[in-house]
Chain A
Amino acid sequence: MESTQLNTTTVRKEVVLDASSDRVWRALTDKDQMKEWYFTLTDFKPEVGFEFSFSGTGSKGDEYVHLCRVTQAIPGKLLQYTWTYKTYAGTSLVTFELTPEGNKTRLRLTHEGLESFAQNGPDFLASSFNQGWSALIEEGIGTYLKRTA
């Protein structure tokens, strides 16, 4: 067991989504749906061993190519992939766990192993996934304006 002090290199999130676990699963694994909220990928298959990559720009303008490989896929329940960076040391692991709650779905996200990136130093930037953020923010504002019009 890690103490909370040293367990600072794991990110854990939990959200309850107003959708069935099947629909959440599709949003997590169908590339046409993924690009709406996550990243634009040429292909995605929720199959163990499937590899994908995407790039992002760090806050200092550095290009970070993300390399990922699916390690677990249980339809409607669990999706897990490695999350690494081309030309940088370290391996982290992203896990999505889905639990039905009535008509809704509890989604647990865990991103662990971030300490393995520490050897790249403090300038190795986590915020290296700006791809699609601006679009996302604009869309968010658009939706907001429509709502308040």
Chain B
Amino acid sequence: MRRDVFQAIADSTRREILQLLAHQQLNLNAVAANFDISRPAISKHIKILTECGLLVIHQQGRERYCQANLNKLKEVQDWVAQYSAFWDKKLQALNSFLVKEKKNRK
């Protein structure tokens, strides 16, 4: 399996985990408590997110805390920007078409 940001966000549970950690650090138990799936399944997702560089695990005493590194998502933003540019072009073209059509009807 690839280990990049795209792989990280390809799964809905992983997106939810990131969502949960976007504004707060939580320990592993607290993360798992938010989901109905098994603890090992959550651990696997956390491992993938860590390997993709989107999560950092801190050991604090006996607790392990997860912290999101959302800066990595910029790669995804850059990719989505292509769609944004596409629609900008298309909507400009639509506008030009309507303007031209209006002139032709006069």
Interface on A for B, CB 8 Å cutoff? 2-3, 5-6, 8-9, 11, 13, 15, 17-19, 23-24, 27-28, 33, 36-38, 107, 109, 111, 114-116, 118-122, 125-127, 129, 133, 136, 140, 143
Which among B82, B88, B98 is the interface contact of A19 at CB below 8 angstroms? B98
Which among B10, B23, B86, B96 is the interface contact of A118 at CB below 8 angstroms? B10
Is B60 in the interface zone, CB < 8 Å from A?
no
B-chain residues with CB within 8 Å of residue A115 when the two chains form the complex: 9-10, 15, 76
Once A118-B7, A122-B4, A126-B80 are accepted as A-B contacts, the answer to whether A38 and B22 lie under 8 Å apart by CB is no
Q: How far is the CA of A129 from the CA of B9 in the complex (A)?
A: 24
Q: Is the CB of A114 within 8 A of B94?
A: no
Q: Is the CB of A126 within 8 A of B73?
A: no
Q: Is the CB of A119 within 8 A of B6?
A: yes
B-chain residues with CB within 8 Å of residue A19 when the two chains form the complex: 98, 101-102
Is B47 in the interface zone, CB < 8 Å from A?
no
Q: Is the CB of B83 within 8 A of A11?
A: yes
Once A121-B4, A121-B6, A122-B4 are accepted as A-B contacts, the answer to whether A127 and B91 lie under 8 Å apart by CB is no
Q: Is the CB of B86 within 8 A of A17?
A: no
Q: Is the CB of B19 within 8 A of A2?
A: yes
Once A5-B73, A6-B22 are accepted as A-B contacts, the answer to whether A126 and B79 lie under 8 Å apart by CB is yes
Interface size, chain B (Cβ < 8 Å): 38
Q: Is the CB of A8 within 8 A of B87?
A: no
Q: How far is the CA of A144 from the CA of B102 in the complex (A)?
A: 18
Instruction: Give the nearest-CB partner of A3 in chain B.
Output: B22
Interface string of B1-30 (1 = CB under 8 A from A): 010111101100001001100110000000
Is B70 in the interface zone, CB < 8 Å from A?
yes
Q: Is the CB of A38 within 8 A of B94?
A: yes
Interface string of B53-80 (1 = CB under 8 A from A): 0000000000000000010010111011
> Nearest chain A CB to B72's CB is how many angstroms away?
11
Provide a sorted-by-A list of 14 A–B residue pairs whose CB atoms are within 8 angstroms: A3-B22, A5-B73, A8-B76, A13-B88, A36-B93, A36-B97, A37-B94, A37-B96, A109-B87, A115-B15, A118-B10, A118-B76, A120-B6, A126-B82
Q: How far is the CA of A97 from the CA of B80 in the complex (A)?
A: 21
Q: Is the CB of B90 within 8 A of A37?
A: yes
